Amino acid sequence: MTIRKIRIFPPRLPHPDTLADPRYSIADREQTWLVVYCPRNQVGGLYHVEHGLWTLQGPVTAAEFLAALQRRGIELAECEDLQTWLDAITTPPPEARPS
C-alpha cells in the first residue's frame, strides 16, 4: 500500500446557534434519526439516536439535503413540525438577507 499526502479540509459543522434552535431539527417518521439542516453553514446532519452517531453532509443546499434524505430512505412525518422545519431551513439566515 502506498501512502501519499493529501490535503484534508476540516468538515463543515452546523453553527452552534442552529443546534440550539429547535426549528432547525426534526425527528424522522420512525424516531430513529434527528435530522438537522444549517442554512448558515450549508450543512445537513443526521444524528442516529440509538447509536449516538452523527453523519454530516456539506456544503449542500436545503434542496440537495432533502433529496439526499429521500435517497437514504429517511422519511419525515407530514405534520405541523415538518412545515416549521421546512420554513426554517429554506429561509436565508439573518446575515445572508439583504437589509
**How remote is the C-alpha of 5 from its chain's centroid?**
30
The answer to whether residue 4 is domain-embedded is no
The answer to whether residue 62 is domain-embedded is yes
Angle value at C-alpha 65, between 47 and 6, nearest 5 degrees: 80
The answer to whether residue 5 is domain-embedded is no
The answer to whether residue 57 is domain-embedded is yes
Q: How would you write the chain as a 3-class SS string?
A: CCCCCCCCCCCCCCCHHHHHCHHHEEECCCCCEEEEEECCCCEEEEEECCCCEEEEECCCCHHHHHHHHHHHCCCCCCCHHHHHHHHHHHCCCHHHCCC
The answer to whether residue 11 is domain-embedded is no
Domain containing residue 27? 16-93
In the chain, how many domains are there?
A: 1
Write down the pTM of the prediction: 0.84
The answer to whether residue 99 is domain-embedded is no
pLDDT tens over the chain, length 99 residues: 677 888 888 888 999 999 999 999 999 999 999 999 999 999 999 999 999 999 999 999 999 999 999 999 999 988 889 999 999 999 987 665 444
Look at residue 99 in the predicted model and tell me its pLDDT: 42
